[in-house]
Amino acid sequence: MNGPWHYAEAERLVKVSPEAVAAAQVHATLALAAATAHDVSRSSDSRIADEWHGVIS
């Protein structure tokens, strides 16, 4: 699991049902933490940056 995966999982859970919102919030928080820790805007690892761009676009 990585940041882009958590982001995609949060989006999926929100679409599944209103009851899944709490779990979606956890995944969104983990995605934010991963993005902040990795600093995608300054990433030298283009693979991870590409994953992020693929998920958020």
pLDDT one-digit tens code per residue, 24-40: 898 888 888 877 766 65
Residue 4 has pLDDT above 70, yes or no: yes
Are 38 and 14 in contact, with CB atoms under 8 Å apart? no
> Per-residue confidence at 42, pLDDT binned at 50, 70, 90?
low
Q: What is the pTM of this model?
A: 0.58
Into how many domains does the chain fold? 1
Domain extent at residue 7: 3-56
